[in-house]
Amino acid sequence: KAGVTQTPRYLIKTRGQQVTLSCSPISGHRSVSWYQQTPGQGLQFLFEYFSETQRNKGNFPGRFSGRQFSNSRSEMNVSTLELGDSALYLCASRPPGTGELFFGEGSRLTVL
């Protein structure tokens, strides 16, 4: 069974630009969560989607947004990038009926 797939794996942007990251969950998983990981703050929850609906949102500014499609694939978008947005963005999917998260390899964003 294929794991969680994230694209792109690496990207470099400049301040003020926007970025869209994509995530394909494990087949059969309908819940997708996004996390930001930085050396200083660790893993921080961004949002969770289930059946195309955002169920939970972390404490991030409105520049961070996401969506989920009918095939459970998810995207997150960050607008007006700031230097502090440089991080590893991790997507995780959850099997039905469990609390376990399975992470993709992540998208490493560098903002210059």
Partner 1 sequence: QKEVEQNSGPLSVPEGAIASLNCTYSDRGSQSFFWYRQYSGKSPELIMSIYSNGDKEDGRFTAQLNKASQYVSLLIRDSQPSDSATYLCAVNNNAGNMLTFGGGTRLMVKP
Cβ proximity to partner 1, 14 vs 98, nearer residue? 98
Q: Does 102 bind partner 1 (CB under 8 A)?
A: yes
Q: Does 25 bind partner 1 (CB under 8 A)?
A: no
| 26: Cα separation from own chain's centroid | 14
For residues 13 and 44, what is the distance between their CA atoms, to the nearest angstrom? 21
For residues 37 and 96, what is the distance between their CA atoms, to the nearest angstrom? 25
Q: Who's near 55: CB < 8 A, 6+ residues apart?
A: 31, 48, 49
Q: Does 51 bind partner 1 (CB under 8 A)?
A: no
CB of 78 to partner 1, least distance (A): 19
Interface mask toward partner 1 for 79-98; x: CB under 8 A? ---------x-x---x---x
CB of 2 to partner 1, least distance (A): 15
The length of the chain, given as a count of residues: 112
Out of 5, 20, 30, 45, which residue is the one contacting partner 1 (CB under 8 A)?
45
- Give the binding site for partner 1 (CB under 8 A): 31, 33, 35, 42-43, 45, 48, 50, 55-56, 58, 88, 90, 94, 98-106
